Amino acid sequence: MTNSIYEYVRKFEKDDSIMRSTWIVVRVDGRNFSNLTKNWEKPFDARGGRLMNKCACEVMRSIGDIVFAYGHSDEFSFVFPRETTIFQRRSSKIMSTVVSLFTSNFVHYWDEEFGEQNQKTENQKEQEQEKENELEQEQLQEQEQEEEEENENKKERVKQQSIKMPFIPSFDARVIVYPNVEILRDYFSWRQVDCHINCLYNTCFYALLNDGLSNNDATLLLKDTYSSDKNELLFTRFGLNYNNVDPIERKGSLIYKKKVKIQLKRKDTNEYGTRTKNLIFVEHRDLIQDTFWNEYPHILEVKKKNKKSVSKRRQK
């Protein structure tokens, strides 16, 4: 439309640039997921958890500016650092890009988790979990090699009951802006507390259903109960210690990037060398306390401006 008589219509576009030096969070939420997940295992389907994590990892690979993501159930939150200039910090552009990438990957990877030929046995799930827990203790390999191993594992998976996608899934999204790290951390604490509350309730609810109670009876039994009451119910009635529930259910998924040194073998000389690569890691642990953030301070580190470049701009 350059130099056309209709170019004036651009004046009606709203400037939605986000204030500089603020942290940007994009939260993606599933729409109508109660129907989409109707045939999933309850209270938690590990396949759905892996699917959501894959989508989040792909979003982080596609958008390099994202430094951290946290998710549970049908939601994921992505953090852009305060110094980001991606899309000129336009809110609509950032939000639409994140949610479209997440949705497209959700559709793309559905069959990898729920398809007939690509289901994992319980033994394979346990082996994968053990491997994930030992990642930091083992020598890290190049990401391409990990993908090759995953492809080989797919060939060994046995048939299990598949779940067809009942309808095309969709996600909504919102952008939230936070002025400092303290409030940003409080946001993630809020989301993890929500994860804990939902997990504890659902664990009790479906345990009661499996014990023969109806939906209404289980709902009435849990009405107005505190966390301590639910923990007591699980232990005394079902012999279940809530702390033994899978961490991904209780804590959600923390996804971050970390620079690591990787050994590479040159094809021409067969000699080994090392290089640094930014890899993506997934953990299921507490983020409310300081331990996680102290271990990985680079995640929420505020990058300092180059004083020389600033002074040069001022001189100009």
- Residues 50-76: tens digit of each pLDDT: 999 999 999 999 999 999 999 999 999
Give the model's confidence band at 143: pLDDT under 50 very low, under 70 low, under 90 confident, else very high.
low
Helix (H, G, I), strand (E, B) or coil at 149: helix
Q: What is the pLDDT of residue 163?
A: 86
Average pLDDT, the chain: 87
Taking domain 14-184+253-263+270-302, whether its CATH number is 3.40.30.10 is answered by: no
| Distance from the Cα of residue 40 to its chain's centroid | 19
Return the closest-CA partner of residue 169 out of 85, 104, 217: 104
- What are the tokens at 99? 């949610």
* Residues 172-225 pLDDT 10s: 999 999 999 999 999 999 999 999 999 999 999 999 999 999 999 999 999 999
pLDDT of residue 265: 74
302 SS3 class: coil
Q: Residue 103: is its pLDDT beyond 70? A: yes
* 3-state SS assignment for residue 266: coil
Buried b (16+ CB within 10 A) or exposed e, 66-85: bbbbbbbbbbbbbbbbbebe
Tell me the H-state helices in the chain.
33-36, 46-62, 91-114, 122-133, 143-156, 181-210, 215-222, 227-238, 247-251, 291-295, 307-315
Q: Given a cut of 90, is residue 106 above it in pLDDT?
A: yes
pLDDT in tens, 215-272: 999 999 999 999 999 999 999 999 999 999 999 999 999 999 999 888 877 777 777 8
Asked if residue 100 belongs to a known ligand binding site, the reply is no
Q: Looking at residues 102-122, what average pLDDT do you find?
A: 81
The beta-carbon contacts of 205-213 under 8 Å, at least 24 apart in sequence, are: 205/43, 206/42, 206/43, 207/234, 207/237, 207/238, 207/240, 209/42, 211/237, 211/238
CB 139 within 8 A of CB 263: yes
pLDDT confidence of 150, banded at 50, 70, 90? low
Does the structure show a pLDDT above 50 at 313? no
Q: Is 65 annotated as a binding residue?
A: no
| Cα dihedral 162→71→80→303 (10° resolution) | -120
The residue with greater pLDDT, 307 or 203, is 203
CA distance 213 to 219: 10
Find, among 80, 95, 89, 87, the residue nearest to 19 by Cα.
Answer: 89
Domain ranges of the chain: 14-184+253-263+270-302
Is there a binding annotation on residue 30?
Answer: yes
Give the model's pLDDT for residue 190.
98
The annotation status of 73 as a binding-site residue, yes or no, is: yes
Confidence of residue 156 (pLDDT cuts 50, 70, 90): very low
Q: What is the pLDDT of residue 270?
A: 75
Sorting pLDDT into bands at 50, 70 and 90, what band is 158?
Answer: very low
